[in-house]
Amino acid sequence: MRLAELAAALDLSAPAVNPEVTGVTHNADWAAPGFVFVAIRGARFDGHQFLDRAAQAGAVAVLGEGLPEGVTSPLPYLTVPGARAALADAAAALAGHPSRALRVVGVTGTDGKTTTSWLTRHLLRAAGLNTGLLSTAGYELPDGQLRHFPAHFTTPEAPQVQATLAEMVAAGAQAAVLEASSHALALDRVRGVAWSVGVWTHLSPEHLDFHGSMDRYFADKRRLIERSPCAVLNVDDPWTAQLRGVAPQEITYSAEGQHADWRAGGVEERSTGLHFHVVSPLGEFDAQLPMIGRFNVANALAALAASAHLGASVEALRSGLASFAGVPGRMQLVPDTRGRRVIVDFAHTPPSLDKALSTLRATTPGRLLVVIGSAGGPRDPGKRAPLGEVATRLADHAFFTEEDCRDTPLNEILAEMERGAREAGRSNFTRVPDRREAIRAAIAQAQAGDTVLLAGKGPEDTLERAHETLPWNETAQAEAALQDEAPR
């Protein structure tokens, strides 16, 4: 694509020069010959500081909201109303708008996004649609192989999103499921995606350091529903009332017996997983889902509703649910030969930890132990004490440890978690700063019939400390701890 074509796609005046454009980025270190560099004014840096670096890397033009006073551009400069929007629109244009060739399901909410996304992907495949996936656990082409981005984003930046969608199309995908985080929506990372269905799971306080308030957090997530021709809405969530009528078409669901298009009843937790009865526009049927946790019934209903909207039959939905293998790091069972249950889960907010521990408590004959930490930096420091309270209220013993402490002293984080426990009158916790040692300590303390929950890291593949980032696999850490215990 020539620069003039890209400018026309962005509704900009024709530039004086017309070089070939091969890509777009907002990171000067990622620029390459033929790239357009987007100068974004961020909270910490202004992209205009890096114009020379982008030019040296071979960039051919700059998009920005206007040159700062005293700054000159070594490259042709095209002024845009919004830099992030321009980054997304340029990425979509350069990729050939791949989402227009797909039926795209977007999933947003505080909790349940990943499980709902993976379930929807699985159900669509069961219905015969070649389906790709982009989630926090990685991305998949229709071949089903899980891949990871090098950058640590909940959702990658717009160029990576568009390139991945194009890769899906090239691999023969007919549909795609995207997990849309609040950051991705607020920062226009998924702008330019042609949604077919927008799914709303649930809203609770999270990332308020970024959004500033619950109202702003809600408004950013609401963008998915505003941009979707069909919305799948959870009527059990109080925030849903503000979403009714926003999308041209809407489908509702309820796991708590409220009136909705899709609803569940007769929920039973058995050794084989969840069993429940579904009432839907397609008729009534019995369903089985091999997962732990009654809250996953809501995720299943959301996935069922979205998949049915895209044409999945009752037979495909039933068989798809029954054959679902689960999500890496989401209530993932680690095999143990000593009669204990070791589970890896991503629960890292007080509500999600409450759900996870309450679920496991109901199905644990022995003691319930939990390993939990809290992220450092400015990321929701207010949740550290509540996490300590929830962990010690619902578990028999909690091991407070690290979880991406970053630039915040780990002892400061752990002290806050301990304060939450002590102010609730509890002392059933142990501080073990090293996460590897905390996992080993919890497993060593567990006996037959006990359950150990390793909470917070889930499928993440790094552990961030103050001055280093370590490769990390929570499941592998648990397996190693269990192996070291094995008789030799």
At 282, give phi and psi (nearest 5°).
-90, -5
* CA 204/CA 438 separation, integer angstroms: 28
Any known ligand binding at 120?
A: no
The reply to whether 475 sits in an annotated binding site is no
Residue 213 is encoded by which pair of tokens?
């308030």
Is residue 58 annotated as involved in ligand binding?
no
SS3 content of the chain, % helix, strand, coil (to 5): 35, 25, 40
Query: Helix (H, G, I), strand (E, B), or coil: what is residue 21?
Result: coil
β-strand 195-200 against 103-108: which pairing, if any? parallel
Which stretches within 57-99 are classed as H helix? 83-95
Only one residue has tokens 């009843």, namely: 265
What single DSSP character describes residue 14?
P
Is 181 one of the annotated binding-site residues?
yes
Q: For the CA atoms of the chain, what is the radius of gyration?
A: 24
Three-state SS string over 142-197 comes to CCCCEECCCCCCCCCCHHHHHHHHHHHHHCCCCEEEEECCHHHHHCCCCCCCCEEE
List phi, psi (to 5°) of 368.
-120, 120
The DSSP code for 363 is T
Asked if residue 22 belongs to a known ligand binding site, the reply is: no
114 is in an annotated binding site: yes
Determine whether the annotation assigns residue 457 to a binding site: no
Side-chain-side CA neighbours of residue 313 (13 Å): 5
Q: In this structure, is the dihedral angle defined by the CA atoms of residues 52, 53, 58 and 64, taken in order, positive or negative? A: negative
**283 Rama sector, left if φ>0, alpha if ψ -120 to 50, beta otherwise:** left
> Could you say which DSSP state residue 393 is in?
H
Token pair in block for residue 103: 């039926």
State the residue for tokens 């607020």.
186
Q: What is d(CA 208, CA 408) in angstroms, rounded to the nearest whole number? A: 18
> Does 154 show up as a binding residue in the annotation?
yes
Q: Which amino acid is at 440?
A: R
112 annotated to a ligand binding site: yes
Measure the N-to-C terminal CA separation of the chain; round to a whole number of Å. Answer: 63
**Dist. CA 40–CA 86, nearest whole Å:** 10
Q: Is 451 annotated as a binding residue?
A: no
The DSSP letter of residue 46 is: B
The answer to whether the Cα torsion of 477, 481, 482, 484 is positive or negative is positive
Q: Is 96 annotated as a binding residue?
A: no
The strand pairing partners of 137, in sequence order, are none
- Give the list of residues 6+ apart from residue 45 with CB closer than 8 angstroms, or none: none
What does residue 363 show for φ and ψ, rounded to 5 degrees? -120, 15
Q: Which residues are annotated as a binding site?
A: 109-115, 154-155, 181, 189
- Residues that constitute the known binding site for ATP: 109-115
